[in-house]
Structure formats: structure tokens, C-alpha cells
Amino acid sequence: MATVTGDSEAKRFPSDDKVRVSQLVEAFEKANIDSKDEADSSDSEESEESQRLSTVTFLYERLVDKSKSQPVVFIGESDNRSMPIALAVLRGNLEGIWATSRLPVEPWTFSGFEELLEKQIAQAKINWELKKPPMSDVDRGKATKPFNAFKEYLANGDGTRVENLLERFVEGADATDLRSSFDGLKPTNNIWFQCPWPHGNDGFYPDTLLKWFVRSAAEVQAPGDVLIIGLTTHTDYAHKYKLEGFMEYATRCGYEHLVEDSDFIGQLLDLGYLHVGWRGADIHWKLFNYHVTHVFKKKSYETKSAFT
């Protein structure tokens, strides 16, 4: 029986054996290639999973972890303030969270906020059903625990302190002129603009709004600060952001694009985040499978060329 050897030895075999050796060599080489491809594929999958976990860890540590979390300011929120409330529930307290909309909203009383929290819980249950597949009973039980802990925090906390913190949830801010609303009065560590979309009378297109926003953020943020932008990837809207041009513009404004995350938003949806479109458009369901959170880090101060 022929043995697989080097080419010099293979030449000494009879013709039938040459064919057999050739076939064995080809099979051996193919096995090595397939094995390498499988290894590369496995390495790639591990790398992607590692990247996903590092992304989740980055956002979680920066925004949620009790020992490391930093202040965050939400821009362009709907009146229900459901995203910052979801983050507060995830954190277990109201500390370090500001929420703004284009125009300020009516201040909340302590009891008024408790009513709003009940609506948040009701929306969370709707979100659990909207998931594909719907959330299991076991996971629903887990998802209720942060709400229970947050209610306990409110019940045992200082009512006056809570109402003072709630004053941070009702302010107005212009996404294209953050300096006028920040001006040293709000932290710039993390600024989050969720699903930005221009109002009809603003004269902006979505891509223009994004550029004006990052330009505005560059005027108030310092190196090391983070900019978070949540965008839908649904085909009805995604192309209007013209992301390639925006990414280049963000770089010119001194930002580095760190990560694209599609997992963290799920935690906020599980805790009752409800997206309300402009003019009350019911497009909330499109967030479940069509959403990405872009994270940018300020690397340097803006240059004049960014604003031309």
C-alpha cells in the first residue's frame, strides 16, 4: 500500500500508485485547508462574540455599573421619558441622569412619577410580547426584579431628594445648540441622542441634523467624553442618515467611532422603553429588530475644518 511521502519519493512509485498518492496528497491538503478554515471560522466567531461582549461591557460599565457608572444626559427624548426611566430602573436609582426634549415638559411630583412608573411597567409587559420569540416566563420573572428594587428605592428614599432629581428629567435642550443648555450646568461625560429625527419646520434633513448635533456636542465635550447615538436600521429610515458621510464628519469633529451595539437597547426595552415617533407616529415595533447604538469617543478638540 502506498504511503504519503514527499514528491521525490512519489516519483519512484508505479503509475497506479502515483495516482493513488496524488489522490491521498490532495485529500490530505484539503483536510488541512478545511481544518484551517474551520479554525479560522471558529476564531472569527469567538472574535465577534468577544467584540459583542466587550461592547456590552463598555456600555454597562459606563452607564450602569454602580462602582463605575457615570452621568448621562439624554437629548431629544419624547415626553414619556421612557428611555431614561428604563436606565434609572436598570441602575436602581435616579442619580446622575438628565433627560431633555426639544421643549421642557411639566415638572413631576413624587406621586406623579409613581404613576408614570406603573405605565412604564405596563409597557415593559407589552415589549415582552413583542419580542421574537416572546419572553419566557422565567425571563419575565427576572425582568420584574429591577422594577421591584426600584420601587423599594423610591419607598425608602428621601422624597425631597427624589423630586430634586426628577427636576433633571423635564428640561428642554436644542440638539443643534447644546452649549446654550449645557454651559457648565450639565455633565458632558455621556450624551445620548436616541433615534434623532428633525421636526418638519426645522428645515433639517436627518443627515444634516446628525451633523449639527455632533458639531454641537464637540463644542461642549472634552477628550475622553462619549457620544451615544441610537439609530434605526429599518430600510424606511436608515438611508436618510447617510452614515458614511456622517462618520467622516464625526472624525473631523474629533470623535473616534468605538463600537456598534445592538444588545444594550434590548435591556432598556425589557424595562419599558417606548419609542414615540414625530407627531406620535407608532413605529416602536421597528426598534426590536432594526436598531444599532453607535458609540463615539472624543479624542481631540474640534477643528475649524469640521464646521465648514
pLDDT tens sequence across 131-187 = 888 999 999 999 999 999 999 999 998 888 999 999 999 999 999 999 998 878 899
- What average pLDDT is seen over the chain? 81
pLDDT confidence tier of residue 304, bands split at 50, 70 and 90 = very low
Strand-pair partners of 294: 229, 260
- Separation of alpha carbons 209 and 211, rounded Å: 5
Query: Residue 30: its pLDDT value, please?
Result: 52
Asked if 268 contacts 232 with a C-beta cutoff of 8 angstroms, the reply is: no
Mean pLDDT of 243-258: 94
CA 268-270-275 angle, to 5 degrees, is: 60
R_g of the chain computed on alpha carbons = 26
Helix (H) or strand (E) holding 190, with range, is strand 190-194
How many contiguous H segments (helices) and E segments (strands) does the chain have?
A: 10, 7
pLDDT confidence tier of residue 12, bands split at 50, 70 and 90 = very low
Identify each DSSP E strand in 62-152 by its residue range.
Answer: 72-75, 97-101
Query: Residue 43: its pLDDT value, please?
Result: 54
pLDDT confidence tier of residue 201, bands split at 50, 70 and 90 = low
Would you say residue 272 has pLDDT above 60?
yes
- Separation of alpha carbons 221 and 227, rounded Å: 9
Query: Residue 44: its pLDDT value, please?
Result: 55
- Separation of alpha carbons 80 and 278, rounded Å: 13
Share of the chain above pLDDT 70, in %: 75
Would you say residue 245 has pLDDT above 60?
yes
Asked if 221 contacts 185 with a C-beta cutoff of 8 angstroms, the reply is: no
What is this structure's pTM? 0.79
